[in-house]
Chain A
């Protein structure tokens, strides 16, 4: 899998540059929103970042389940990479939401169900990183983080349905398929293209981080082997 990652990395890097360039061109040529003014441009980063946060955790859950089932290292590498990529997107989601919230809601933060469940997601990602670093035995670390990741997956439906289940300050979904669309046509193309660009960017980051983890582990194995030879 890692060798295949090395092959597709440059394709993903090129696709990231092209899709981001197209997305940014659409973002800055789209009209302002009649209520939000140019602050609507924050949402072209915030919404795709939020979708990537959830997608990263979904991938983490899948890789963790596959690791616990098959005990193949490649799934643990993918899980570790998903945590790093997911944490970056979740931090961006929370910070961009906060920066949008100040002019629109008059507050940087509200203990709203959607915001709080997203904060829990960031804490989960950081907890998974801390847990892996705290355990010396890599097999134990892989098992423990996989189990914690699967337990934490309960946060995903809570995040998704929080705006439906509870009365929240955060708005309900603006785009949940053509039938339930509440976003005006002018603002849709930049949002869609930026969403695609973030998926491609997330894929590239995941490939890069997975290669870095695999190479680091390979080097650690070489060093361990050398130490054992020196002791023998």
Chain B
């Protein structure tokens, strides 16, 4: 049976990139906007 480890690790790496990458970007953006709102004396609604 051939070893398909390269294919397997590619998929798991891709999954981390496609799912956790956007999560990281959204989290950074949320924190930035929350800081801007707080500077205006407003809370996240």
Contact = CB atoms under 8 A, between A and B. Distances in A.
A100 interface: yes
Interface in A84-98: 84, 88-89, 91-92, 95-96
Given A38-B8, A39-B4, A39-B7, A218 B15 contact: no
Contacts, number: 93
A149 to B, nearest CB: 20
A42 interface: yes
Interface in A193-232: 201, 204-205, 208-209, 211-212, 214-216, 218-219, 222
A120 B29 CA distance: 29
A209 to B, nearest CB: 5
A29 B26 CA distance: 33
Give the bracket for the number of chain A residues in contact with chain B. Answer: 35 or more
A3 interface: yes
A209 B23 CA distance: 8
Given A3-B45, A37-B2, A38-B4, A212 B15 contact: no
Given A45-B12, A84-B22, 9 more contacts: A6-B44, A38-B5, A39-B4, A92-B18, A99-B10, A205-B26, A215-B37, A216-B33, A219-B36
A144 B14 CA distance: 32
Contacts of A147: none
A43 B14 CA distance: 13
A46 B36 CA distance: 39
A136 B33 CA distance: 21
B44 A100 contact: no
A46 B5 CA distance: 16
Contact of B40 (A36, A84, A222): A222
Interface string A169-211: 0000000000000000000000000000000010011001101
A6 to B, nearest CB: 7
Interface in B1-45: 1-5, 7-8, 10-12, 14-15, 18-19, 22-23, 26-27, 29-30, 33-34, 36-37, 40, 42, 44-45
